[in-house]
Amino acid sequence: MLIELDSDPAVMRYISGGAATAPEVVRESHLPFILAGYERWQGELGLFAAYEIVGDAFVGWFCLRPEPNGPRDEAELGYRLRQAAWGKGYATEASRALLDKGFTELGVRKVWAATMALNSASRRVMEKVGMAFAHTLPTPDDMQMVEGAELGGVQFEITKEQWEQQ
């Protein structure tokens, strides 16, 4: 499922410039990293697969995870959905649920999310869940081929206090 998701050029547009992730990279690098996260954060934080309630179709993944060696109370929100699942509000719905669980049950105090400046759908999700623009980000060296690389990235953030005041 992860290999198929990363094989759609539209999904990968603002991540790799459209190039698919090589299956061996998913198997030998991504999967061990994801599995190590379940150990590190006891399955509470990390990367989670999402499925439609009716029909059980794979929607994609969401993550709420700290840096591997960073503080546990600061986590990154991320999402990557199959194209068939776009435009239905799923990213907003699941991100809200993750923020709520993180802030109310898991002791998270701050969440950030980052995307390319040109990735309007991703930015819109961040805005809709109440995150605020924090600062720009330089485009990483391995993303210079991505459309809009010259515009760089953006980081959005929300604190537990801001979440509670919404």
Ligand X SMILES: CC(C)(COP(=O)(O)OP(=O)(O)OC[C@H]1O[C@@H](n2cnc3c(N)ncnc32)[C@H](O)[C@@H]1OP(=O)(O)O)[C@@H](O)C(=O)NCCC(=O)NCCS
Q: Which residues bind ligand X (CB under 6 A)?
A: 11, 14-15, 60, 79-81, 86-92, 115, 119-122, 124-125
Q: Are 82 and 60 within 8 A, CB to CB?
A: yes
Q: Smallest distance from the beta carbon of 154 to ligand X, in angstroms? A: 10
Two tokens at 65?
Answer: 């995870």
Two tokens at 98?
Answer: 């993750």
Our CB check for ligand X shows the closer of 11 and 98 to be 11
The closest alpha carbon to 74, from 16, 166, 155, 15, belongs to 155
Our CB check for ligand X shows the closer of 104 and 120 to be 120
Our CB check for ligand X shows the closer of 15 and 134 to be 15
Q: Say how many C-beta atoms besides its own lie within 10 A of residue 132's C-beta.
A: 11
Q: Smallest distance from the beta carbon of 92 to ligand X, in angstroms? A: 3
Our CB check for ligand X shows the closer of 39 and 58 to be 58
Q: Smallest distance from the beta carbon of 147 to ligand X, in angstroms? A: 11
The closest alpha carbon to 95, from 71, 124, 136, belongs to 124
Q: Smallest distance from the beta carbon of 101 to ligand X, in angstroms? A: 17
The closest alpha carbon to 63, from 1, 114, 6, belongs to 114
